[in-house]
Structure formats: C-alpha cells, structure tokens
C-alpha cells in the first residue's frame, strides 16, 4: 500500500472506514512505523475498527492513539482460550514427535488436521515424513508462492489432503469451517501465538481439539503458555511413546546451530543431520526486511 501511495497510484483521501486486523501480529513484526505512515494519509474524520485476538500493553497504546472514545467489545477475557476447544498435552521425546503424530492421525482416523511447526524447514521436513507414512500433506509458509499457498489451502478445505502444515505467520487469517483438529508439533516461541493457533478450531459454535506434542526442551514454553491462559493443561502419555525420564533439555538455539553445522560437507559424510529436525532460537527475531514489487 505504501508503494502504491508513493507512486500516486492510490488515494486514501476519501476513506471512511479503517479496519486494522491482526493488530498484535503487525506490532510483533515491527510494522508500527508503516501503519503510522498510512494513518497520516487518511482523513481525520473516519470510523476506526481494531481487531486483535490477544490484547497486550502495546495494543492498548496503539488503540489509545488511534481510536477516539472507543467502544470495547470482548468475546472472552484477554488472552483466554475458547472453552469449546479441548486442549491436551502429549509429552514425548523430541525425535518421536513425527512417529507420534502419524500414530495419532491413523489410530484416531483424523481426516483434517492443521499442524503448526516453528520453522519453514521443519514444515517441509514434516510433510516429506508424513507422505512416506502414506498421509497426504502440504505446507504453507513464507517461502511458498501465493499460488502454492492458495492451492494447498483449497485442497485442505476440500478434503483432498489430510494435513496442512503451517508456520505462524502463514496461518494468520486461515478460516476453515468446523476444522476439527489443530496440532502444535512445536510450541510457539511467543506464548500469545498459542492462543492464535488453537483458535483456528472451535469456531462459530463448533467444538474442536487442540493437541500439543511437548518435549523436554519446551517445558518452559509450556509453563509460559499456562501462565498466559491461566490454566493448567491436561497431559496424557501415549503408550509406546513414553518420554525418557532421564532426557536432558537442550537449548533450542543450540539445536538450530547443530542443524546448520550438519548441512556443511564433511569428509566421508555427504549427509548430515541428527534426526531431530531444525529448531530456531527461542528469542524473537528482528523485523524482516521487505521489498515491494509492482
């Protein structure tokens, strides 16, 4: 939009209504400066609407500066989860997440499952693994073209594929009628994203199930999520996938570095990888650089 404005290809002079959706994510990604540039080009007299699934102090500050004596409408308490969603934690070792997911899908005969991974590499790898298990799957993330993401989402909605694997940003705005199952293959780095993820199910009065596969490395993330949503999530160990009680947590950043090192050629070893998949640092990344194309 800023690119079109700079080329005088669009005018905002007669805009009557401004809708700012996914406000928390835009702040999280560092778009506040760009938002302010667009606001400055709008008429001062207008109707403003701001939507956010989570309501942080930053969102409140944005609302206070953007809205004039606004009416606040809350469908639930701040940062809460939908009561229509059954939430469940499955403790599991990090290298058993994929086999456990395949087991859950097959044994429960799940037909439509939205799965969240932490990284684009992890999404692609999981799709390959599931396909080898005879489970149809496709991935959507930032490296996929818009046409590829549209195709994957359409086939998922039509029931042509069983599993849609997504990263957090790619999944924003996904609205699927009566989506029955959401799986957190990796817990999110930011606790608020858990609320967004499981909110893809249990919509419009329907029930849903949100399952999280949690390894020892993610125990602190789980505690942070439970603190945010103010509830203790039930846990169930699946027979045959019992986690090793002596397992030692690895820093997620360390495992990411190991993955990068494993991709470097080694004498006598053209492969690499430790089978555990790529995991990024738990720290929030800096805002991405963006380019605008006509």
Evaluate if residue 46 carries a pLDDT over 70.
yes
What is the SS3 assignment for 211? strand
Q: Please, are residues 252 and 276 in contact by the beta-carbon 8 Å criterion?
A: no
Question: Does this model's pTM top 0.95?
Answer: no
Q: Please, are residues 92 and 212 in contact by the beta-carbon 8 Å criterion?
A: no
Evaluate if residue 204 carries a pLDDT over 70.
no
pLDDT cut 70: percent of the chain above it: 78
> How confident is the model at residue 271, as a pLDDT?
37
What is the SS3 assignment for 239? coil
Q: How many CB atoms lie within 10 A of CB 6?
A: 11
Rounded-to-integer distance, Cα 117 and Cα 143, Å = 14
pLDDT tens readout for residues 2-37 = 999 999 999 999 999 999 887 776 766 677 788 888
Evaluate if residue 43 carries a pLDDT over 80.
yes
Mean per-residue pLDDT, 116-136: 94
Q: Which domains does the chain have, with CATH numbers?
A: 2-66 (3.40.50.300), 85-229 (3.40.50.300)
Evaluate if residue 256 carries a pLDDT over 50.
no
> How confident is the model at residue 3, as a pLDDT?
93
Highest mean pLDDT among 74-83, 175-184, 185-194, 216-225: 216-225
Q: Please, are residues 191 and 221 in contact by the beta-carbon 8 Å criterion?
A: yes
- Greatest Cα pair distance in the chain: 69
Say which residue the tokens 């029955």 belong to.
Answer: 180
Q: How far is CA 204 from the centre of its chain?
A: 20
Token reading at 152: 């994957």
CA 36, 37, 40, 41: dihedral to nearest 10 degrees? -140
């Amino acid at each position: 939009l800023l690119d079109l404005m700079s080329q005088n290809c669009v005018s905002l002079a007669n805009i009557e209504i401004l809708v700012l959706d996914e406000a928390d994510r835009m702040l999280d990604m560092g778009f506040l400066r760009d938002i302010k540039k667009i606001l400055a080009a709008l008429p001062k007299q207008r109707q403003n609407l701001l939507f956010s699934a989570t309501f942080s102090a930053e969102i409140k500050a944005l609302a206070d500066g953007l809205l004039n004596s606004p009416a606040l409408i809350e469908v639930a308490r701040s940062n809460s989860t939908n009561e229509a969603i059954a939430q469940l934690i499955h403790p599991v070792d990090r290298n058993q997440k994929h086999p456990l997911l395949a087991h859950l899908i097959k044994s429960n005969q799940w037909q439509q499952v939205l799965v969240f991974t932490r990284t684009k590499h992890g999404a692609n790898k999981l799709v390959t693994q599931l396909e080898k298990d005879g489970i149809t799957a496709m991935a959507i993330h930032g490296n996929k073209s818009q046409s590829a993401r549209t195709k994957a989402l359409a086939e998922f909605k039509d029931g042509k594929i069983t599993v849609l694997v997504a990263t957090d940003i790619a999944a924003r705005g996904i609205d699927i009628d009566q989506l029955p199952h959401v799986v957190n293959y990796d817990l999110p780095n930011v606790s608020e994203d858990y609320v967004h993820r499981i909110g893809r199910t249990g919509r419009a009065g329907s029930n849903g199930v949100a399952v999280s596969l949690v390894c020892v490395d993610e125990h602190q993330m789980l505690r942070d999520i439970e603190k945010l949503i103010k509830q203790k999530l039930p846990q169930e160990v699946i027979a045959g996938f019992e986690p090793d009680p002596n397992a030692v947590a690895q820093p997620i950043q360390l495992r990411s570095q190991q993955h990068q090192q494993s991709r470097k050629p080694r004498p006598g070893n053209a492969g690499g990888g430790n089978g555990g998949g790529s995991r990024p640092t738990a720290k929030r990344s800096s805002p991405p650089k963006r380019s605008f194309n006509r």
